Structure 1
């Protein structure tokens, strides 16, 4: 057993034993696990949706905002996920329906990692949380959409377009947050099996178990879920296979505490190049839009040279306690890990000729890399709340520590992956095949506090403050880029105030306003220089100004908001070399726009849905559009639910995108790297059989068709030094999945 696997197993065992030890002293009573300790949290949830009988706009809305919202948000329920989103999905496909969100998978729905944008902010500029715990990479706070939580494990999502309150946590409150939630336990026992089959030999199978409230377990609940997915994918030879295991146990302890233990593990294997940015136009002309890999061992694109295995796990132990007289606490002790082991050729575009130094003179061997990105994160989030006559005071502390091991070695793939001792940088190193071998860590402490002041029964004003204290350290014998030893650390400090207000105009309408500061931790690449102590220690910051109105009735849910975000302290290289190289803060950008979403219950089971956003993100120095920032998004849909039938038809349009930040002296290049707006339209039908026999209580058959109108427009361009080797990604063509789910 490897040390990494031993540590994971040991940690899981210790958490389980701790949970069992506390539970063994619990007083068994008749309070259910979800009611025993009514701890006030800052999570906004939608009204419980129910496609089986609740014919209200709030129940069927794909996205909506709460009347108590203090910033723009889109709440997405489990009901919508099960009906309208592919069973092979992960979170990016779920949240893509929301206004100002965009992103697409080139390999097919849920079959490759997708980097979403939020109001034009890139994936590393906003947070993603799971049950309130922020997670992401440790070199920069980016995310891997297929690596942790498949769609079958997600109970709902809330897209918060803004820094949020003081206890909205993460390393990039800069652009907002995508908050994912596990499934809520059911009151009654249920066992389910589910499966899907579809285009590109895609197959999914799984099973889940809900214990319901267990009288012999203090009315606690147990949830189990397993899912297996495999597919050849749309891109040539880009196969994927994954397995996910999940357990969630929730139990009252005594009269005032509820403990929750959550554990999940995911194993995924890809066949794909490390540079997975799509084919060149020349490759498209020869092989088609889906060209990626082939079966030729003399090619950089040989499938046998390009593969990745990722192991992840995510666990937490949560204790929610009601101490009486208005005092409550909520503590989450957590850990998660990510291990990416990749073997890949170095250039799938054809720009580089074959040849390695390890082979004989004049050889045409294929050069490659052995890449690792492996980290373990430990953390604790403590929240203390006090309910007063004037409102609710909330305070707490987020602590987190991470250890990261990253390396990249040169290989001769033709010779079976033998180390290739070539010198790619002038600096002398002991082993010239080592591009970098780096260890790093982050130590983070963030105290926060806020007061939800009930000025009147209808007006709530909430001021708050969060202090950011982060130390990032690197301990590398061979550092990335410089290939020199690096043993240093940098401290980052920031103070983030916010002020929000929510005014209830009536039982069906409310308005809100927000002023809030956000930040983003500097990327690890700021250490890829000779002397990181010369870097600026100020993180990138944002100041958000937002105003919105929300309306809800049985027939209609709707909301509209406007926003302006000033982005300052843009972190860039000073362009110098040697010991003078440094990362400094310059200029910034302005993001502004308007967003709206609405659902209308027409009647007879039909509902209409629409959302839209007009977004503008420009640099302050040149006025050019920020790279990768769509200028608009829009969605329109028809929903149906009546008796055993349900269905949805939803089209999502992503606006024009500039693909690079070019200055005013290069107008031609600026116009060249532009992708036009594109649309995906998804169709779903489902039919439910009640008690069809064989012990089945409910049987659901479902058909999903993705990209119904078979568009294959360009979604992204990655510029190269030579335009002939620019890489293009396209929409995956029309695909379908047939699914069945049986509840026992």
Structure 2
């Protein structure tokens, strides 16, 4: 009886379980659906073999899909929910569709129209091309669509793996071959970046595709434009680019800074950071999300911040107030208007001499620069200061015109107003009255009142047409600039100026770069691109009478006029071949040029009874570059690899200076830069990734003669070119935590010096063009810096979205290496047996000591 009862109960329980499972299976099946769709270009033709990323907006789960030869894709078994669909293909910009609703047991069809794209639009997503988890977690990586050596730095890196005070040079510090110098601390000065033997002024920097630079030479100022609070990513192209790459100096490469993307949800963030050297940063951000009626066509981003710091160097105070606004209005998916505006005010006590001498370091320590106790010395901090307001604005408009044609136009304006005062020790006596109030040779001897100011207006317009054969692009960059520059001798005690300047010039420049190129899709795997760009520049100068330092008195005339015109024809050709969907190879030949600086007219143009006024009869040729490179990009599931070799011949180059913070305009003849670069990302386990890159190369002068005379710098190294560089990093990323540690090593290199003027009896003479400029004069030993970052962030889904605690340590092991030397001594013209001897008067660039920074940010978002 008991046995039968137990058996009956077991059978009943089994039957109930079977019924439950039977009833439950359909319910489970009904919780999934299918996303399918078609990818088309502007004329409605299908785009084959595209990459599609499907991201569940609630769970963050990602499904990677590849389109077929007809442009279709299908992803079944997806959990019901709201999805973001991203699609990309070679030659097209990343296209995103948010808020795609997928219900259980249904198929949702999505049709996306991909637009012709370029590097300056936004960071390309490559992770899906090989279902690569290593690429998905990479904070910087190569690009499968690359036609040249490129590294892309994403927003995750900028938001988590640099200090909050960082500028764009710090953002790129771990990219292959790069390094920057800032002896006052991270983001606390005007840092300069170097790579491949190119110093600042020999490569382009753009912001959302707009090139920006000084007017007297194409250099840049990291402390005056685009702090990391304004940046959403960087596309770093280490090549002259194609014909459609515009700007004054792309031959060294293009650092393409990208503004922040416009999120679709509202969020407001307020944060405060405090760190070493009494550094304080207050930052407020606002993302509106999509708003404006049922269509929600508007979107706004706003950032306002204040930063001040004592700096690592003594009395090198820094204060920055800045704000940025970005607005986007979508008339439709095919017609988009974007506006951006930023302003920045910088005040600093940075002196004209950027480092201490060896004697000062030995006496006061390596953070010594200025002092506040002895006003008779030139390094009294109240005599040395900057005030630099800047602004930058553009309006961008994109529209699909029909029949495959697209328009992209972007008028812009920006200004830079660098007002600087600095002191110098007079040859006789100290800084005191009457020494500083008494002119010497018509000039006050103790200080300088300096201005470098310009306003630019420009426009970049491109038209592109997509056909079944490929993409045709035609466009033009035009820019007009007005510049006012002077340096006036000054008494730093009273700030009274001399009647006549050392120089004063106003000049107006016009830049024109029309181009045309065709990207031929020979097969589904092979893309060939060829193009031609014409670069034309004009410069009209008005140089005012001065105290004899530059153009002279001009025999009573108020000013003299000079003008110049430069032309270059710049072809390019490249190819990209997909060996497999996750493996590409590329090759490129490209050219670039840069016009000589305005200082070529800085000659004495005053006539005397014994000699006529000097005239620049023959303009120097523009510097040019011919670049050859080939490389490969591979993305496996847990590994990504990129490598390239390059050869660049840089013609009619102008030398790097002894002090790498300044530009010397001495013609140096030709140089050749060649080398190897490689980078990799390895996904280890559960959010933990390893990152590494390395370079090895040379950059040497190869002209045996310059100006018809023997070149004493033949086969010597270009200044500030490391023989090798290495970066290593480990990151951990999960929903809330971002941890990272990075080390950058800079190999041995050289700085320039000056040749001693040979005696008349020696039978030697200086090169008439090169003068005293001596390359490979000072050896710089290898150095390295290790930085560590810890971040805890509340993610989307909480009302406190983007609430964050951030901790960073720069120079973790407190290294104090010498990074540059401006020697006080000279180099003999006959170098046999020469070896550099350190001297007490050498000016040094040094690594700043270890620094800490902690940040607290409160984020608020309405519940979605």
- C-alpha displacement of 1:111: 0.6
Q: Which of 544, 548, 563 in structure 1 is aligned with 2:631?
A: 548
- Greater CA drift, 510-519 or 477-486: 477-486
Task: Give the structure 1 partner of residue 781 of structure 2.
Answer: 676
Whole-angstrom distance in 1 between the partners of 2:495 and 2:575: 60
Q: Aligned partners of 1:412 and 1:702: how far apart in 2?
A: 46
Contact 2:717-2:776 within 8 A present in 1 as well? no
Whole-angstrom distance in 2 between the partners of 1:371 and 1:507: 56
What does 1:438-449 align with in structure 2 at a 5 Å threshold? 438-449=505-516
Gaps of 5+ in 2: 1-95, 100-110, 606-613, 657-664, 705-713, 757-763, 767-771, 827-838
Residues 513-535 of structure 1: CA distance to partner in whole angstroms, max 9, x if unpaired?
A: 00011111211111112456423
Per the alignment, residue 16 of structure 1 pairs with none
Quote the offset at 1:56 in angstroms: 2.4
Structure 2 contact 273–854 (Cα < 8 Å) conserved = yes
Q: Which residue of 2 aligns with 1:732?
A: 848
Which consecutive residues of structure 1, in runs of 5 or more, have no partner in the other structure? 1-29, 421-430, 574-582
Match of 1:460 among 527, 534, 537: 527
The match for 1:398 among 454, 477, 502 is 477
Q: 1:243 to 1:532 in 2, by over 3 A?
A: farther
The alpha-carbon distance between structure 1 residues 709 and 476, as it changes in their structure 2 partners (threshold 3 A), is: same
Partner of 1:701: 805
List per-residue Cα deviations over 1:371-411 (Å, max 9, x = no partner). 00000010011100011111000010111000000111111
Contact 1:493–1:537 (CA under 8 A) maintained in structure 2? no
Q: How far 1:66 moved relative to its partner?
A: 0.9
**Matching of residues 656-667 of structure 1 within 5 Å:** 656-660=748-752
User: CA offset at residue 571 of structure 1?
Assistant: 5.1
Counting only pairs closer than 5 Å after superposition, residues 89-238 of structure 1 correspond to structure 2 as 89-216=166-293, 218-238=296-316
Where does 1:13-412 land on structure 2 (aligned, <5 Å)?
39-43=115-119, 45-47=122-124, 56-216=133-293, 218-253=296-331, 256-276=334-354, 278-295=355-372, 296-347=374-425, 354=431, 359=437, 367-412=446-491
Matched residue, 2:17: none
Given the superposition, is the C-alpha separation of residues 313 and 398 from structure 1 closer, same or farther in structure 2, using an over 3 Å criterion?
same
SS in 2 for 1:184: coil
Greater length-normalized contact order (CA 8 Å, ≥ 6 residues apart):
1
* Deviations 1:177-198 (CA, angstroms, capped at 9, x unpaired): 1110000100111111122110
- Are 2:342 and 2:391, in contact at CA under 8 Å, matched by a contact in 1? yes
Partner of 1:428: none
Which residue does 1:568 correspond to in 2?
651
Distance 1:391-1:702 versus aligned 2 partners, 3 A rule: same
User: For the Cα contact (< 8 Å) 1:37–1:257, is it kept in 2?
Assistant: no
Q: Displacement, 1:167?
A: 1.8
Question: For residues 347 and 101 of structure 1, do their structure 2 counterparts lie closer, same or farther at Cα, with a shift above 3 Å needed?
Answer: farther
Match of 2:567 in 1: 493
Change (3 A) 1:149 1:721: same
SS in structure 2 opposite 1:660? strand
Post-superposition CA distance 1:356-380 (Å, at most 9, x none): 6663699xx9711110000001001
> Residue 678 and residue 585 in structure 1: after superposition, are their counterparts in 2 closer, same or farther (change >3 A)?
closer
Q: What's the Cα RMSD here? A: 2.9
What is the DSSP-based 3-state SS (H/G/I as helix, E as strand, rest coil) of the residue aligned with 1:125? coil
1:588 aligns with 2:670: yes
Tell me which residue corresponds to 1:687. Answer: 792
CA distance 1:248–1:353, shift in 2 (3 Å):
same
- Worse-superposed segment, 500-509 or 633-642: 633-642
For residue 672 of structure 1, report the CA deviation from its aligned partner.
5.5
Say yes or no: does 1:650 pair with 2:742. yes
CA distance in 1, matches of 2:646, 2:753: 23
- Tell whether the 8 Å contact from 2:719 to 2:775 is kept in structure 1 after alignment: no
Equivalent position SS for 2:801: strand
Q: 1:122 to 1:74 in 2, by over 3 A?
A: same
1:21 is matched with which residue?
none
Q: Of 420, 432, 435, which aligns to 2:502? A: 435
- 3-state SS of the aligned residue for 1:501? strand
**Residue 538 (structure 1) aligns with:** 621
2: distance between equivalents of 1:351 and 1:567? 44
1:517 aligns with 2:586: no
Cα contact 1:535–1:584 (8 A) shared by 2: no
CA 1:624–1:537 in structure 2 vs 1: closer, same or farther (change >3 Å)? closer
Q: Distance in 2 between matches of 1:534 and 1:459?
A: 50
Distance 1:660 1:584 in 2: 12
In 2, distance between residues paired with 1:593 and 1:360?
55
How far, CA to CA, are the matches of 1:245 and 1:125 in structure 2?
A: 29
CA distance change for structure 1 residues 174 and 731 in 2, over 3 Å: closer, same or farther?
same
Quote the Cα distance in structure 1 between the aligned partners of 2:738 and 2:170. Answer: 20
CA contact (8 A) 1:37 1:321 kept: no
**Cα distance between partner residues in 2 of 1:509 and 1:521:** 39
Q: Would the alpha carbon gap of residues 405 and 160 (structure 1) be closer, same or farther in structure 2, given more than 3 Å must change?
A: same
TM-score (norm 2): 0.75
Task: Say whether the 8 Å CA contact 1:536–1:585 is kept in structure 2.
Answer: no
Q: 1:507 aligns with which of 581, 599, 604?
A: 581
Shift of 1:512: 0.2
Report the Cα distance in structure 2 between the residues aligned to 1:351 and 1:279, rounded to whole angstroms. Answer: 21
Distance 2:214 2:235 in 1: 21
Q: How far apart in 1 are the matches of 2:337 and 2:735? A: 38
Secondary structure of 2:363's aligned partner: helix
User: Do 2:425 and 2:431's aligned partners in 1 also have CA atoms closer than 8 Å?
Assistant: no
Q: In the TM superposition, what is the alpha-carbon distance from 1:643 to its structure 2 partner? A: 4.2
Deviation track 1:636-693 (CA, whole Å, cap 9, x = no partner) reads: 11111234222011000111121017789999x8776111110010001112346999
Q: Secondary structure at the match of 2:522?
A: strand
Q: Secondary structure at the match of 2:251?
A: coil
State the secondary structure of the residue aligned to 1:107. Answer: coil
Deviation at 1:215, TM superposition (A): 3.4
For the Cα contact (< 8 Å) 1:692–1:699, is it kept in 2? Answer: no
Aligned to 2:708: none
- Sort the Cα spacing of 1:32 and 1:449 in 2 relative to 1 into closer, same or farther, 3 A: farther
Distance 1:49 1:36, change over 3 A: closer
| Whole-angstrom distance in 2 between the partners of 1:542 and 1:93 | 27
The answer for the alignment partner of 2:600 in structure 1 is 526
608-617 vs 470-479, which moves further: 470-479
Matching of residue 631 in structure 1 with residue 700 in structure 2: no
Which secondary structure state, in structure 1, belongs to the residue aligned with residue 803 of structure 2? strand
Q: Does 1:557 align with 2:637?
A: no
> CA contact under 8 A between 1:624 and 1:662: conserved in structure 2?
no
Q: Deviations over 1:292-348 (max 9, x none)?
A: 111121111111111101000000011101011110010000000000111110259
Asked whether the equivalents of residues 659 and 675 of structure 1 are also in contact (C-alpha less than 8 Å), the reply is yes
Cα 1:663–1:298, aligned 2, differ >3 Å: closer, same or farther?
Answer: closer
On the 8 A contact 1:62/1:97 being kept in 2, the answer is no
TM, length-normalised to structure 1: 0.87
How does 1:473-488 map onto structure 2 within 5 Å? Answer: 473-478=540-545, 481-483=550-552, 484=554, 485-488=559-562
Quick one: distance in 2 between partners of 1:670 and 1:395? 42
| Equivalence for 2:85 | none
